[in-house]
Amino acid sequence: MTHEEFQNTVIQPSFNKPVLVDFWADWCDPCKILEPILDELAKENSDSWSLVKIDTDGSKEVAAQFDIMGVPAIRIFWNGELIAKYNGLMWKKEMGKWILDQLGITN
């Protein structure tokens, strides 16, 4: 993903609703565990936020721009700004709660 593509798929849409970015890599086993969790959460919360996945191996400049040193790495963008960061794996319940907490949404 280029810087321009990132602007078009993450930054611009974040002015409509928050965008959660999943920085991942094909060789990363925790990323493979997290992928279906994020897919499910994104589907369940499609009115509240959207999901974009970025392969760090194919997007080294974008990953470097956001100081992605390891994967999985989650970043949330809202109104064009980075508002939250998380590195590592969380199970569905905890990840769902963390996302809602970052967005100020109560259940």
For residue 106, tell me if it sits in a domain. Answer: no
The tens-digit pLDDT sequence of the chain (107 residues) is 888 999 999 999 999 999 999 999 999 999 999 999 999 999 999 999 999 999 999 999 999 999 999 999 999 999 999 999 999 999 999 999 999 999 997 65
Residue 21 token pair? 């970015």
Residue 27 token pair? 């060789």
Task: Residue 86: give the domain boundaries.
Answer: 3-99
Q: Is 31 a catalytic residue?
A: yes
What per-residue confidence (pLDDT) applies to 107? 59
Which among 1, 21, 25, 31 is annotated as catalytic? Answer: 31
What per-residue confidence (pLDDT) applies to 3? 85
β strands within the chain, DSSP E: 19-24, 50-55, 73-78, 81-87
- The CATH number given to whatever domain includes residue 75 is 3.40.30.10
Domain count, the chain: 1
Which among 21, 28, 34, 41 is annotated as catalytic? Answer: 28
CA of 7: how far to CAs of 4, 15, 68, in Å? Answer: 5, 11, 17
